Structure 1
């Protein structure tokens, strides 16, 4: 028996957006307006309430319900299944705006996309059933991990016996929304050891014997304290025989392909945390006075703030590249998703480490304006690096792709790359998931395109440092081709993987600026120079003092934009493109 799908999308509206249409840039702006400002009483999320709930480790139920009422869950369901999901960047930007106000709320709501995406990849009747759950506003969790088994999904112990019904036994822990969620997509063992031993099963709590379910207590966490990070024990839980997500034995493959889409999506959480921190630090620098001047007037302070902003812009460009690649080059996503998922949270963590002494005591205290919000965002962001594979897992994936990265390929069509990054390109439909591959054939075109993209900069101020990074990238690709194949990667291999990720980030930054409506403008020049200088410092190509000038100039741009009620962004103009 199959679950009934939700009411047809055409029967619902979201704000001024017809629910029959794909959600686009306009809906992102509408969602941001709906959320309001955290310093205004009556907004969906306020600073004081977020800190209060965080201190009590309490779930932000009112905010999550409000977001449900607006209909964010429609952005998680492809149009073909009655939702509004087309361009994957749209839900990413919505989650980013949500996380910039409270990352816990974003984690609690956005997890449903992670739990559901396997059904969109599998297709068939189960996708329609999943859509019905999601469109109803009911949370869906992703039951992958088990206690004591780390990131090794092949070691899954949960069992599922498939027959006329499916009998599931095992414990999933720790899982986001395990207790609150209506449904869980469970990875379970359905066969003997081997690549086809695992399957995915949709367990809808409303359709099973409640006596066979036993919730595991919420886990106390350092970040996202209020989130429902708990567990679920299934004691011979029986579901209908058609509850498999995909074919029997295809569970691990579907999970690995799902991760290629969820990893970039989760980086929107880090971008939201970065937005929050930069806003606090910029305001602090404008108001804090030392030696008769504001921090903003001190060159060293401007350089410190500008460095943090450069990190946030790098993360933004990489997130954007991940979203574009999902649509334009899905066959590269096994590598691109790992590069994006490693580089963005790692870069934002670095940004927080730099800003903590800059903000000073306010980074640790609660009760002073902006203080509680900063320390909460810093703690919350550290958790993002663990979601859907931690940094070590993602670096391992990059290392596994070394032979593909170094493999010869046809010249890259630079015009196509820049066009694919254009803000005003035609609206994308949902990702062609059939194009996803478990391993790439030739790495990613972005690494191969970097030298050519740098040439397109011509005589722009950032071109000189860009050429140095491009030369480093070519050396890194050559090194990947000669790196030893190791069962346990060495420190040298991890270091090389990090360097490749930074070079990938440089390619993303250059391509984004070349495609920007602002390309060649003064703000574009400032952004690109500061980001590339920052990457060069992280690669060891120049000392931090060499990047101080461009960082300080970027900070000055940030102060100017803040005066207009705006933030510096490499995606400036994206929401206005058509």
Structure 2
């Protein structure tokens, strides 16, 4: 069912209507084919860029959509309700644009950001490493200064859109300790850069996740974003926004599972009654609806704080934690509502459950979110 949204103005309502039309035509009709065959939806991100959905929370004068974060996230939720993998990739692209917008020089912004926000350049985010996931300060990939720029050597992991993206927000070590990490806008193709075979994942099959191997690839000096040693500051600032994107993805996925479960419960009958009319099942659906509504309210609260320019880091972690835990519970319950049919691939709820699991893990595991929240409380 279409969610009734409280939006700030008519332009936002029109944007949601456009998103729903595009998502129904371009995403909902293709998701099963590509997820089952594990094939990339060639041309889809160009389409999303052409209709203006890849730069929404960035200023219009730079080529973005000029939308507040609360509106952008509801667009992401609508995309996720049709195709979670695509919505995650949209969120990651938005995350990858953040360093240039917030820390780039005027020359870097002018050179790169308009094409990024228009979707002519699609981005990935390259922070994690095989032995440095949640512990970002432990990364070992090096960017050594040379007269010609920076030579990058090392391995990065868990890159959404790896091998396909046109650019990566790359974090590499330029010095010692947590203040020895820097941020670079790395091109998607460079001599000395190769990508591993896509990970054989539980879900989100249509968008590849890969490792990247840097074997002395040269980045020009102007590829450094911000100052040397500012990388972790940039990474963590970006992740606050990125966690809201994942919260919106999780909410959209949970909404899709709820909608499927309700529709099935209205059609399926047992003991002469629709199963939705049995109190035991009706209460399960009620709890699912409460979880979805709570997730949406939580991420919107954090987004409105961000839009108002007030601190929102704790609320972003709360939103990511609440929404992704809820998505896991709601999608699992949706399978239960379908009974044996829910365990088959004849219905999408088994895919929803597989897709929900990763959302508790990436952009900082939910255990990390609890650490972030507790540290804020301790201050």
- TM-score clears 0.5: yes
Identify which range, 154-163 or 92-101, moves more after superposition: 154-163
Within 2, Cα distance between the matches of 1:241 and 1:337? 33
- Give the whole-Å Cα distance in 2 for the aligned partners of 1:63 and 1:313: 29
- Which one of the candidate residues 16, 36, 53 is aligned to 1:28? 16
Distance in 2, Cα, partners of 1:144 & 1:23: 35
C-alpha separation in 1, matches of 2:244 and 2:188: 29
Q: Which has the larger radius of gyration?
A: 1
Deviation digits for residues 307-344 of structure 1 (CA, Å, limit 9, x no counterpart): 1111111111101111111122532x221111111111
**In the alignment, does 2:135 pair up with 1:148?**
no
**Do the aligned partners of 1:23 and 1:85 also contact (CA within 8 Å) in 2?**
no
CA-CA distance at 1:76 after TM superposition: 4.9
Of 305, 313, 319, 1:334 maps to 313
Residue 365, structure 1, aligned to residue 344, structure 2: yes
Given candidates 175, 182, 185, the residue that maps to 2:169 is 185
1:126 matched to 2:108? The reply is yes
Alignment of 1:166-245 (within 5 A): 166-193=150-177, 195-205=178-188, 210-245=190-225
Q: For residues 258 and 343 of structure 2, what CA distance do their matches in structure 1 show? A: 16
More strand per residue: 2
> Is 2:191–2:218's contact at 8 Å kept on the other side of the alignment?
no
Task: Report if the CA contact (8 A) 2:314-2:373 is conserved.
Answer: yes
Moved over 4 A (4+): none
Give the aligned length.
367
Deviations, residues 254-289 of structure 1 (Å, cap 9, x unaligned): 111111111112111111101111110111111001
The offset of 1:106, in angstroms, is 1.5
Deviation at 1:28, TM superposition (A): 2.0
Structure 2 residue 370 is the aligned partner of structure 1 residue 386: no
Distance 1:32 1:136 in 2: 19
Runs of at least 5 residues in structure 1 that lack an aligned partner in the other structure:
1-21, 37-42, 405-578
Change (3 A) 1:290 1:312: same
More displaced 10-residue stretch of structure 1: 298-307 or 312-321: 298-307
Counterpart-to-counterpart distance in 1, 2:179 and 2:12: 38
Aligned equivalent of 1:114:
95
Confirm or deny: 8 A CA contact 2:52 2:64 kept in the other structure: no
Q: For 1:138 and 1:51, how far apart are their aligned partners in 2?
A: 26
Kept in 1, the 8 Å contact 2:196–2:210? The answer is yes
C-alpha displacement at 1:389, in angstroms?
0.3
**CA contact 1:107–1:227 (8 Å) conserved in 2:** no
1:57 is the counterpart of 2:41: no
User: Aligned runs of 1:440-459 on 2, under 5 Å?
Assistant: none
Alpha-carbon distance, 1:136 to partner? 4.3
TM-score normalised by L of structure 1 = 0.61
Larger mean Cα displacement after TM superposition, 50-59 or 247-256 = 50-59
Q: Which residue of 2 aligns with 1:323?
A: 303
* 3-state SS, counterpart of residue 366 of structure 1: coil
Assess if the C-alpha contact under 8 Å between 2:159 and 2:210 holds in 1.
yes
1:527-551 Cα shifts (integer Å, max 9, x gaps): xxxxxxxxxxxxxxxxxxxxxxxxx
- Structure 1: distance between partners of 2:307 and 2:99: 17
CA distance in 2, matches of 1:128, 1:217: 34
Q: Give the deviation of 1:23 after TM superposition.
A: 6.9
Describe the SS at the equivalent of 1:157. coil
Please report how far the alpha carbon of residue 143 of structure 1 lies from its aligned counterpart in structure 2 after TM superposition: 0.7
User: Cα distance, 1:80 vs. partner?
Assistant: 4.4
- Alignment correspondent of 1:436: none
Counterpart-to-counterpart distance in 2, 1:23 and 1:172: 40
Q: Which residue is 2:6 aligned to?
A: none
